[in-house]
A and B are shown apart, each in its own frame.
Chain A
Amino acid sequence: MKFETVKIRGGGLLSDALFAAGVPLSMPCGGRRSCGKCAVFVSGAADEVSEEEKILLARLPEKTPPAPGYVRRLACFCHISGEVLAALEDDGRIAVASPCRCGAPSPLPRSPAGDIPPRPRLPIFNLISSKFNYDGEHPEDFGVAVDIGTTTVTVIVLRLGDGRILADKSERNRQTVFGADVLSRIDAANRLGAEPLRDAITGQLCRLIADALSVAGAAPEAVRRICVTGNTTMLHLLTGHSVASLGVVPFEPETRFGETLPAVSLFPALTSARLYLPNAISAYVGPDIVCGILSSGLPDRENSLLVDVGTNGEMAINANGCLLCCATAAGPAFEGAEISSGMAALPGAIDFVRPIPGALRSPESAARGTPRIKGDYKEIYFSTIGGQPAVGVCGTGLISAVDTLLKLGLMDETGMAYDDELPLGNSGISLTQQDIRKLQLAKSAIASGIATLIHEGGLPENDVRALYLSGGFGSYIRPESAIGIGLIPKTLGDRSVSAGNSALAGAAQLTLNAGLREKAVEIANVTKEIQLATHPFFMEQYIENMMFDSIHNTL
């Protein structure tokens, strides 16, 4: 285990001091002292470990301190008074960047017969059609498109004249120190004020944009346009609008955006650029899904579904020409957070798992709940990103791992594992029962959202022509694994298409062609939101889809 050691001086909570020092420590519960995930090794002027902290620390897997004299602490409990050395585990969970590569569109890989093919180099966007000619002056100048995800932030630099992507940068959203999901961010803004959250994201974006521009060889003053998309909460926090009303009924956003501002108000280096913020549909269906609907061409693709498999789980359907959308809180499990060995899709992340050939004596037996023959963990084969030694598991790895455990009869259809530790072959990485439970909540949220949209659209499931899977993680999902765990309906497996980062693609289109803004406004106006929190059908589905042999799969 590698450590990144930082020297900190100050008083008060270690988590506050680390944050003030710009050290991105993940705090999934937002500092509520409930998750026990913000563990660091500390040496120096720290207080005594409290009983409450001891209980949470005892649940963590054992780790060897980086050097003698270091004590393991939770940053949300530990008070410091003076100078301390804090050693953070550098395992990809700290400065996380998800891979986001440029290249030619490629189809999703299908079931591998023998060896697992290397992770495909997917393009940032798949569905964007090539012709979005720049509509303005200075075609030799540059545009910037940004997608602020709850968990992952991505920035690209485009040449305006030909729309080519010259650089892309991606990192874990620095606001994750304030909590893993949208609601915990709103709660943090209510408790601490919105400024720390705003500063975190603007600071991060300024740095990422500067980095990307330097890779692209572009001067900041040569940037003419920037479009920033993201969910409604992320854009409220960025622009300094109050998020208080986003957290309470009737969940009204303070603004629905759709405006153009001088970019310099948020990004001081971009002195010549105009900033465009696309329209939101509602408090929970944001500019990101509007951009996704735009770039995927959903309004013209009848009976198709667009699902952004991310923390906020936004999705939309074109049902007989009507656009419906919803947001379902999946949580960050798919992005590698809140999973014991979870990490982003970086080199060394297990990205695909399957039984070794011939291991499946009765592939369907686990799913049917009939008496099963328990398999062996040795029958699990895995691959990692870059072929590096395994250091953790990313979202696609997690889904295929659980699919494999089910197929090998190492867990049952209710999600109960037969052992405490579930080693993934000889990778040295294991899943735990609780990891499976976290995945269960996330997959049920997405599966039930899909079912509710299809239901509300009045479509028989068989009439859905295409399922566009989007998002940094969603694009890489293998349909067979997703079906295996009941994340997507079985009938849609061979109709699923990887859509890349559809939100970012939309932002790129809006950067190049201002004429499309009208279309984005129209999408925001005509798309009807389905409220899931109070939807009885959704609630019913949410419980059903907890099962790994959900009704979807028996249809």
Chain B
Amino acid sequence: MSVLESLSEAVQKGRAKDVTALVEEGLSEGLSAQELLDKGLLDGMGVLGERFKNNEVFVPEVLIAARALNKGTEILKARLAEEGVESRGKVVLGTVKGDLHDIGKNLVKIMLEGAGFAVIDMGVDVSGEQFVAAVKEHKPDVVALSALLTTTMGQQGEIIKALEDAGVRDTVKVIIGGAPITKAFADQIGADGYSADAASAADLAKSLVS
């Protein structure tokens, strides 16, 4: 098995120590940081994301894989900057006002980063004003809104309105998700897309920016 294949597998299995060793090995073999990232680390995360979408793996595997992936990217960070690598696009992500759930949102972040996006994580309990300010500051391609409660899902619509009122709605694609969210709800509040789980969110973002 090549270093890249082994690296992809080590990420999928969440073997952090193996990831560290394989990244070092790859670099010493003369592979570029970009290759190790795309064809090793992100490939592994992508495979896992697909399996997550198909209910073959669950939250712990994804968190453990992300932990391993982070060990790899820490080593590669400086090299990537040297190589001048560009991201696929920029996403501003947050859990809406009134809602403190962050595990689902963090999974979406992991999957988006795994797909090569630069993610600006606004955290939880984020208001429309904060999203507007972030859009103006970071000029993202996508705004992703998470809500886990029936009592807070309405905020997703409020935030879209706030983006409209601020005149920045047309500069971004808005995608939404969370346990109570449906396609019908997304259409009703005028979101550009809805995803049922974290892995599909990355696919959705990819399809919207391409």
- Contact surface of A with B, Cβ cutoff 8 Å: 32, 183, 187, 190-191, 244, 247-249, 251, 369, 412, 414-416, 434, 437, 440-441, 444, 533-534, 539, 542-544, 546-547
- B17 partner residues in chain A, CB cutoff 8 A: 369
Q: Which B residues between 44 and 103 are near A, CB-CB below 8 angstroms?
A: 58-61, 63-64, 66-67, 97-102
18 A/B residue pairs, CB under 8 Å, sorted by A = A187-B150, A190-B151, A247-B149, A248-B99, A369-B15, A369-B17, A414-B61, A416-B13, A441-B59, A441-B60, A533-B102, A534-B123, A534-B124, A539-B102, A542-B63, A543-B67, A544-B67, A546-B60
> Whole-angstrom distance between the alpha carbons of A322 and B97 in the complex?
32
Q: How many residues of B contact A (CB 8 A)?
A: 27
Contact indicator A546/B15 (Cβ below 8 Å): no
Please determine whether A248 and B13 come into contact, CB atoms closer than 8 angstroms: no
Q: Can you name the residue of chain A whose Cβ is closest to the Cβ of B14?
A: A414
Residue of B nearest to A434 (CB): B58
B64:A543 contact, CB within 8 angstroms: yes
Sample of 12 further A-B pairs with CB below 8 A, known A190-B150, A248-B149, A248-B151: A183-B149, A187-B151, A190-B151, A249-B125, A414-B15, A437-B60, A444-B60, A533-B102, A533-B124, A534-B124, A539-B102, A547-B64
Interface residues of B in 95-128 (CB under 8 A from A): 97-102, 106, 123-125
- Is B152 located at the chain interface by the 8 A CB criterion? yes
Q: How far is the CA of A542 from the CA of B97 in the complex (A)?
A: 23
B125 smallest CB distance to A (angstroms) = 5
CA distance A412 to B61 in the complex (A): 12
Considering the chains assembled together, what is the distance between the CA atoms of A32 and B179 in angstroms? 9
Complex contact A543–B150 (CB within 8 A)? no
Q: For the complex formed, measure the closest distance between the CB of B170 and the CB atoms of chain A, giving whole angstroms.
A: 30
Q: Give Cα A187 to B178, complex, Å.
A: 14
Residues of B within 8 A of A539 (CB): 102, 106
With contacts A187-B150, A190-B150, A434-B58 taken as known, whether A415 is within 8 angstroms of B98 at the C-beta atoms is no
Contact B63 A247 (CB under 8 A): no
CB-based contact B97/A249 at 8 Å: yes
Query: B125 — nearest CB in chain A belongs to which residue?
Result: A249
Docked-complex contact A534 and B100, CB < 8 angstroms: yes
Annotate B142-175 by CB proximity to A: 1 below 8 A, 0 otherwise.
0000000111100000000000000000000000
Q: Is the CB of A546 within 8 A of B64?
A: yes
Nearest CB of chain B from residue A401's CB, rounded to whole Å: 17
Q: Specify which chain A residues have a CB less than 8 angstroms from the CB of B60 in the assembled complex.
A: 415, 437, 440-441, 444, 546
B64 to chain A: closest CB distance in Å? 5
Contacts of B106 in A (CB 8 A): 539
B59 to chain A: closest CB distance in Å?
6
B179 / chain A contacts, CB cutoff of 8 Å = 32
> What's the minimum C-beta distance from B131 to chain A, rounded to whole angstroms?
16
Nearest-Cβ distance from residue B57 to partner chain A, whole angstroms: 8
- In the bound assembly, the distance between CA atoms of A539 and B67 in angstroms comes to 12
Are B100 and A437 in contact, with the CB atoms below 8 A?
A: no
In the bound complex, CA of A187 to CA of B63 (Å): 26
In the complex, which of the residues A183, A244, A437, A542 contacts B61, with contact meaning CB atoms closer than 8 Å? A437
Contact yes or no, A248 B63, CB < 8 A? no
Give CA–CA (A543, B100) in the complex, Å: 18
- Min distance, Cβ B58 to any Cβ of chain A, angstroms: 5
Q: Are A437 and B58 closer than 8 Å at their CB atoms?
A: yes
Q: How far is the CB of A543 from chain B (nearest CB, A)?
A: 5
Q: Give the distance to chain B from A329, nearest Cβ to Cβ, in Å.
A: 10
The interface residues of chain A lying within 8 Å CB-to-CB of B63 are 542-543, 546
